[in-house]
A and B are shown apart, each in its own frame.
Chain A
Amino acid sequence: MESASNQHSQASPVEAERPQPAVIIPEGSSGAHRAFVAWFYKLTIEQRVLTGFSLVFVGILIVSAISYYNTNILLTNSGLDGRSHDLIQLLNTMDDAMSEAEDVHRRYLVTGEASYLEAHKKVVRQKPTFTAYLNDLIRESPEQQQRAGLLDRMMDRQLSAESKATAQFQEGGFRAVKKIAFEGAGKRELGVIHQIIMEMDAHERQAVGRRVVASAAGTRTTVALLGIGALLQLVLLAWVYYFIRHDITERRRVAGELQRRGELLEAANKELEAFSYSVSHDLRAPLRHIDGYAALLRKSVEQSLNEKAARYLQTISDSATQMGQLIDDLLVFSRMGRQEMLHTTIHLDQLIKHILSDLRLDLQGREISWTIAALPAVQGDPSMLRQVFMNLIANAVKFTSTRPIARIEIGVVEDSGSREIVLFVRDNGVGFDMQYAPKLFGVFQRLHRADEFEGTGIGLANVRRIVHRHGGRAWAESVPDKGATFYVALPRRGHGV
């Protein structure tokens, strides 16, 4: 899936160089196209930007390669053009030199002037140089080499005919060469030489013309390619910019939304505070009245009150009292969530000692065997953690009340890893069924009937809330009728929130 899409994405800039590749999408490729779009929208912003930049990079690479290739051709052509130019010039020079040779030779035959013979000899001396240079210039063109071979032979024949005539002139004087002097010794060869040189010139000029056309086409292609490439890069960069811009806008929007929600949350929190204040003040008053008037009623009808009526009045009072307790517990619970937290070092040994001394009234008449290990110091809010252990110990005391000898153990789990300190309170009380364990720490959740053990069901909810605010965990394990163990894991120093 991914590799197929990559191929597609890399192919797209190449396609775009051809005229209108994207407009007509064959039926077969629309599926792949759709898959690509679907794949693209699954990418993260980073991956999209990376894809965009990769496409830009690939585009730059392709444009660069083609430009390099075309420029190379242009360079080669310009080298060849230089050589063609040299060749044409050389041919011209050779043509002139051969004409000159014929001309001066004739003058020599007529006048016998030595300077003319010298001029002819100069051409004869130059000839090998001309030939060598010519062969060098046309070494890549077999056609021209063929002509050059013929040209070379013709030049030799002209010069040797002239040399022969010179020898005859020197032997027999003007009269011996009179006929030759009028006709020209190599006149026929010179005509052929003209012919060959013209052919070679024409051939070379044609080659130059062809290269000029090819170079112009190459240059046009390069310019067009660079234009299209630049346009394509621009489009891709704009595309990448759009995504980055889009992402930034989106992030700004999210940040704004978060701030707005934060403000709403703060407002809601304030409202909740006002609510709990009003609960604390206004909800308690009617309860007080119920209990108060029930008491006043009992007092005023005391003589005529039968047992049933007395029980009814008592129930009214008890219910009002119980609801008062619930409201108080709920307020404590809500305050636990809002209250500012202190962060100090708490020596748990001291904390437990104080709790046990506070509980001593409740412990009267109970036989409890305490096992308390040496406990470490932890970081946290003293009054909150006091509440945690107060609740756990009070629970242990409460739920072992049916045992002749209660056993309560407070300790720390050794080797609990470096990140947290795990403390536990274990009892041999009635315990609970582990299937109800998830309910244990909920608000107003109770696993025992009210007539078995008293309580409002807020204690463990408070424990969990406090422990969570300390960045820790709280959980429990139990076997029904065998006892329960409550664990509190607090982060070690430096790992806390």
Chain B
Amino acid sequence: MTATKPILLAEDNPRDAELALAAMEAEHISDKVVLCRDGAEVLDYLYCRGQFKARPRGNPAVVFLDLKMPKVNGLEVLRTIKADVKLRPIPVVMLTSSREERDLTESYALGANAYVVKPVEFNKFLSAVKELGTFWGVINEPPPEGCRSTH
């Protein structure tokens, strides 16, 4: 059952994170969300290291990636995920404020599964996050791999 798979949300801005969580709360999927506040934390989670050493194994159902993040930015995280055979199947959705063409081009070139520009209007943001959460967290069937089980 996919319900057990978490949704990884990489968002450095706590307000954006709170708004996104508030949006998912309405759909009752907020308890599945794991929040990472920079790119390094995302990689720690995916590789089960650091503060996530003891986490239950298994890849997340989806990763929502912000582009601009401290330490390791979204594009670097995306590059790492898509370069790793074990992580590559995880759907990655870019969720960002940037509408710049080069960001779009580069994200898709690196293998992003979707690219969503955060709308300014909360209602639109709300529906976007709801739909994204529902689709990727509930409707979409994730790939059958587990977490890195090599050790």
Chain A: residues with CB nearer than 8 A to chain B?
A: 277, 280-282, 284-285, 287-289, 291-296, 317, 320-321, 323-324, 328, 331
- Please judge, given known A-B contacts A287-B120, A289-B16, A317-B122, whether A296 and B22 are in contact too, CB under 8 Å: yes
Segment of B48-56, B96-104, B108-116, B140-148 in the binding face = B96-104
A291, B99: Cβ atoms under 8 Å? Answer: no
Question: What are 24 A-B pairs with beta-carbon distances under 8 A?
Answer: A277-B98, A280-B97, A280-B98, A280-B100, A281-B68, A281-B96, A281-B97, A284-B120, A288-B16, A288-B19, A288-B120, A288-B122, A288-B125, A289-B15, A292-B15, A292-B19, A293-B15, A295-B123, A296-B22, A320-B120, A321-B120, A321-B121, A324-B120, A328-B99
A90 to chain B, nearest CB (A): 111
B125, A292: Cβ atoms under 8 Å? Answer: yes
* Residue B118 CB within 8 A of the other chain: yes
Q: How far is the CA of A425 from the CA of B2 in the complex (A)?
A: 56
Q: How far is the CA of A293 from the CA of B67 in the complex (A)?
A: 22
A295 to chain B, nearest CB (A): 4
Q: How far is the CA of A324 from the CA of B117 in the complex (A)?
A: 13
Interface secondary structure of A, over-half rule: helix
B120, A295: Cβ atoms under 8 Å? Answer: no
B134 to chain A, nearest CB (A): 19
Size of B's binding interface in residues, CB under 8 A: 20
Q: How far is the CA of A293 from the CA of B14 in the complex (A)?
A: 12
Q: How far is the CA of A282 from the CA of B99 in the complex (A)?
A: 12
Q: How far is the CA of A320 from the CA of B67 in the complex (A)?
A: 23
9 tightest CB-CB pairs across the interface, nearest first? A324-B120, A295-B122, A292-B19, A292-B122, A291-B122, A281-B97, A289-B15, A284-B97, A281-B98
B126, A295: Cβ atoms under 8 Å? Answer: yes
Chain B: residues with CB nearer than 8 A to chain A?
A: 13, 15-16, 19, 22, 67-68, 96-100, 118-123, 125-126
B14 to chain A, nearest CB (A): 10
- Please judge, given known A-B contacts A284-B120, A288-B120, whether A277 and B100 are in contact too, CB under 8 Å: yes
Closest to B96 in A: A281
**Hey, which chain B residues are within 8 Å of A331, CB to CB?**
99
**Hey, which chain A residues are within 8 Å of B68, CB to CB?**
281-282
- Please judge, given known A-B contacts A295-B126, A324-B120, whether A285 and B13 are in contact too, CB under 8 Å: yes
A324, B121: Cβ atoms under 8 Å? Answer: yes
Q: How far is the CA of A317 from the CA of B125 in the complex (A)?
A: 13
A317, B121: Cβ atoms under 8 Å? Answer: yes
**Hey, which chain A residues are within 8 Å of B120, CB to CB?**
284, 287-288, 291, 320-321, 323-324
Q: How far is the CA of A277 from the CA of B99 in the complex (A)?
A: 9
Q: Which residue among A288, A289, A317 has the maximum number of chain B CB atoms within 10 Å of its CB?
A: A288
**Hey, which chain A residues are within 8 Å of B126, CB to CB?**
295
**Hey, which chain A residues are within 8 Å of B19, CB to CB?**
288-289, 292-293, 296
B121, A291: Cβ atoms under 8 Å? Answer: yes
A311 to chain B, nearest CB (A): 17
B16, A285: Cβ atoms under 8 Å? Answer: yes
Closest to A283 in B: B97
**Hey, which chain B residues are within 8 Å of A296, CB to CB?**
19, 22, 122
**Hey, which chain B residues are within 8 Å of A328, CB to CB?**
99
- Please judge, given known A-B contacts A281-B67, A295-B126, A296-B19, whether A288 and B98 are in contact too, CB under 8 Å: no
Given contacts A277-B100, A280-B98, A323-B120, 12 further A-B contacts (CB under 8 A): A282-B97, A284-B97, A288-B19, A288-B97, A288-B119, A289-B16, A291-B121, A295-B126, A320-B120, A320-B121, A324-B121, A331-B99
Q: How far is the CA of A321 from the CA of B123 in the complex (A)?
A: 11
**Hey, which chain B residues are within 8 Å of A295, CB to CB?**
122-123, 126
Q: How far is the CA of A281 from the CA of B118 in the complex (A)?
A: 10
**Hey, which chain B residues are within 8 Å of A289, CB to CB?**
15-16, 19
Q: How far is the CA of A282 from the CA of B12 in the complex (A)?
A: 12
**Hey, which chain A residues are within 8 Å of B99, CB to CB?**
280, 328, 331
Q: How far is the CA of A323 from the CA of B121 in the complex (A)?
A: 11
Q: How far is the CA of A321 from the CA of B122 in the complex (A)?
A: 9
B98 to chain A, nearest CB (A): 5
**Hey, which chain A residues are within 8 Å of B118, CB to CB?**
284, 288
Q: How far is the CA of A282 from the CA of B120 in the complex (A)?
A: 12
